[in-house]
Structure 1
Amino acid sequence: MTRMRVGVVGIGARSPLAALVDSSPVPARLVAAADTAPDAAARARRFLPAGVEVVPDHRELLGRGLDGVVIATPDDTHEELAVDFLRAGVAVYLEKPLAVTTQGADRVLRAARASGTRLYVGHNMRHMAVVRRLKSIVDSGRIGQVKAIWCRHFVGNGGDYYFRDWHAERSRVNSLLLQKAAHDIDVMHWIADSSAQQVVGMGGLMVYDRAGRRDEGTDPQGSMKDWFSYDNWPAEELEGLNPVINVEDMSMLMMRMRNGVMASYQQCHFTPDYWRSYTVIGTRGRAENFGDGAGGVVRVWTRRSEYAERGSQEYPIEEEGSGHDSADQLTIDEFLRFVSAGGTTDASPLAAREAVAAGVAATESLRSGSQPQQVPELEPELARYFERGQWE
């Protein structure tokens, strides 16, 4: 098999994802990168393998004979960048979210279909061991037919991850109920085998509006890896945050899916701990994770009882590395296999669109007095194209 040539756009905290191309069992090599930052070359030396060519404009990559590109840029750039590469015939790995608006997400899907170029969206949590364990339990029928899913997301690193840079601005991300929750909305959709039909959102900016800001017009020094520290606590005493903070640091949504499953999601960016807790309730039992990485467990309750800490069965969460680290390689491998051979993938552009549509609608509800919002469906013919694995 000929080794594929892959590029990356965006040399920042998520760009090491593209470096995993070189360690994939699918023959491929990262050969080029684009970033507008003046220190792009220095970033490449830090985050990417040696020998990767660096250019300042992504359009310089369009005629380089690339087989694929990883787009790891800020969310508000995803739509335009993806459309440019799809139209140029370069297969796209697009970091989630697919776009910051439902219309933008639909535009990317239309560009993929019109060009016939393969599109993959990096919802890597579908490859996380905790999620796959939960899904396998549901698919086995052990807890019966799923009726409800609850997710609590304790974003203990929220101040460092989301309030020091562009993530804190509505104009760049829409909301963290879209940007951050897109992962969990997608997971709940996948486990329920459906997507949101109606949503209600609620939330507010409760802590980080009182924390210390940088001066207007100044950029954060380095990348997230530089300013992250567990010593940055308590949240309300953080300094050097983004000058503009207008996204919510506490948000919640309730959703009714098209198959009747009901779900809830709670996200808090100022907890001391950082992990996700999923509870899946079926007609014959329930499953819940305790810890979401290696060393954690998923417990299942299938018998009536009073409080039973360990449930009826307990299953270990087993993975190499933890969370994103192990899932990233699996996601890159799936992308490269899809580009080279086609076939089915666990991560789906159609599902990525549904996560965006639900997150956008929930944000509209949150910012309009929690008025219920209907989630718009994708046009049927376009949906069928992606359901068929991007074949006409």
Structure 2
Amino acid sequence: MRLGVVGLGARSKIAQYADRPGENVQVVAVCDPVESCRETGLKQFPAAKAYADHRELLELGLDAVFLTTPDHLHEEPAIDFLEAGVAVFVEKPLAITTEGCDRVLEAARRTGARLYVGHNMRHMPVVQIMREQILAGAIGEVKAIWCRHFVGHGGDFYFKDWHADRSKTTSLLLQKGAHDIDVMHWLAGGYTTRASAFGELVVYGGISDRMDRTGQRFDEFVDEANWPPLEQKGLAPVMDVEDLSMANLQLDNGAYLTYQQCHFTPDYWRNYTVIGTAGRLENFGDGPGGVVKVWNSRRSGYREDADEVIEIPTADGGHAGADPRLVNEFLTFVRDGSPTLTSPIAARTAVAAGHAATVSLRDNGNPVDVPALDPELVAYFERGQTA
């Protein structure tokens, strides 16, 4: 299997899990318009040849490509590769608009080339524990999920480069929220039909120290010592996304979700509270050392010990072991079309919910309906991308 990697920023490292020369799976092409990134890519993948334009890879006879470009550069390259018959791993989000997602989905159906979206959180142990508890009936039928996302490194991670520019992300409510919305959809067993949200650039917008970081890599401007938030330096020249947002989402199965995102907390983790008809569960920490607690035996005040406490296990690899699992699933899917935990339709609905919520947020919280997908398109992906 001959692989390519397009976009050689921080997230391109995920392709290292796929580079297995001893198993006849190898990255043979890397691509980025920035020369220093191409040089770094060749160090990561020494058997590869470097290119500046993704279109140069279209005629190389690649079996698959990892598309780890900035978000606004997912849509068009994905379509180009699909039309060339190359299987595509698109890093989340699938696109930065609902319409963009639909264009990619339609291209995958039209060409028959395989499409996979990198929603690695479905492979994270904390999420799998919660889903297993729900499927086992531990809390009954899910009726509400509340997610609080404490983005403690937000000033470094998302307000010093292209992430801060809404023309390249739509919003961080979509860009970051796509992960959590996908998880909540998966746990609740439904998709968002209507969204209402509020938010604003409440902290970083008041900082005047700015810097153009064109050509810099992620690790050149991230430092945990950058604290407190109001003392950040060198923020992005264009910064028009919100650093605080709150969304309420109504699902097609009658469940309700709340998503809260803050980019200036001292800690960095996600907390999910899932409430069902027979109990609730909640995670404390989202990686090794954390736990998922379940309360379901009786009414009471707060009980720290809960009725069941499940430890989140240690796993090798990025994102608590999710990244290598994600790559393994993608490679197997490319080879034989095996079923996957991830779903292009679910990836689209996560973007559509985040997009609708963003429109609502910027329109005084007025509710926004999520446009429905063509049922035939949904059916194609539910069949595992077979005609």
Bin the TM-score by the shorter chain.
over 0.9
1:368 partner letter? D
Q: Match for 2:17 among 13, 16, 20?
A: 20
TM superposition shift of 1:24? 9.9
Q: Give the aligned partner of residue 154 of structure 1.
A: 150
The answer to whether the aligner puts 1:378 opposite 2:373 as a matched pair is yes
Matched, 1:84 2:95: no
Shift, 1:293, TM fit: 0.2
1:123-143 alpha-carbon deviations (Å, 9 max, x no partner):
000000000000000000011
Match of 1:234 in 2: 228
Deviations 1:6-26 (A, max 9, x none): 101001111111111025997
One-letter code aligned to 1:260 = G
2:180 and 2:33 mapped to 1: Cα distance? 31
Equivalent of residue 40 in structure 1, options 37, 41, 59: 37
* Partner of residue 252 from structure 1, selected from 232, 235, 246: 246
- Cα distance in 1 for partners of 2:127, 2:185 equals 12
Alpha carbons 2:160, 2:213 under 8 Å: kept: no
Which of 311, 314, 319 is the matching residue for 2:306? 311
| TM-score (norm. length: structure 2) | 0.97
Aligned-pair distance for 1:27? 4.9
Give the stretch that moved more between structures: 71-80 or 51-60: 51-60
Offset at residue 304 of structure 1 (A)? 1.4
Structure 1 residue 344 corresponds to structure 2 residue 339: yes
Moved more, 263-272 or 49-58: 49-58
Contact 2:64–2:334 (8 Å) recurs in 1: yes
Structure 2: gaps (5+ residues): none
Match of 2:65 in 1: 69
Q: 1:381 to 1:112 in 2, by over 3 A?
A: same
1:360 to 344, 348, 355: 355
Q: CA deviation at 1:51?
A: 2.2
| Aligned residue identity for 2:148 | R
1:43 Cα offset (Å)? 2.1
Deviation, 1:28, is: 1.6
2:135 paired residue number? 139
CA distance in 1, matches of 2:295, 2:153: 31
SS at 2:180's partner residue?
helix
| 1:265 matches 2:264 | no
> Mean alpha-carbon deviation: is it higher for 263-272 or for 52-61?
52-61
Task: Give a deviation string over 1:304-323, Cα, whole Å, max 9, x none.
Answer: 11110121110010131476
Identity of aligned residues (%): 54
Alignment of 1:106-145 (within 5 A): 106-145=102-141
User: What is the deviation of 1:212?
Assistant: 4.0
Q: Report the number of matched residues.
A: 386
Superposition RMSD in Å: 1.5
* Superimposed CA distance per residue, residues 196-227 of structure 1 (whole angstroms, 9 cap, x where no aligned partner): 01111110000111224334xx3256322222
Distance 1:13 1:75 in 2: 13
C-alpha contact 2:4 2:28 (8 A) present in aligned 1: yes
Distance 2:222 2:250 in 1: 36
CA distance in 2 between partners of 1:7 and 1:383 (Å)? 28
Contact kept? 1:24, 1:329, Cα under 8 Å: no
Q: Offset of 1:40 from its aligned partner?
A: 3.2
CA separation of 1:339/1:322 partners in 2, compared to 1, >3 Å: closer, same or farther?
A: closer
Structure 1: gaps (5+ residues): none
2: CA distance, partners of 1:143 / 1:266: 23
Q: CA deviation at 1:49?
A: 2.4
CA contact under 8 A between 2:195 and 2:247: conserved in structure 1?
A: yes
CA distance in 2, matches of 1:58, 1:304: 58
Deviation, structure 1 residue 42: 2.1
Q: Is the 8 A contact 1:40 1:54 kept in 2?
A: no
Q: Aligned partners of 1:41, 1:75: CA distance in 2, in Å?
A: 19
Q: How does 1:173-212 map to 2 (within 5 A)?
A: 173-212=169-208
CA contact (8 A) 1:203 1:366 kept: yes
How many Å separate the matches in 2 of 1:295 and 1:25? 34
Q: Render the CA deviation track for 1:241-294: whole Å, top value 9, x for unaligned.
A: 101100000001001100000110000000000000001101111010000001
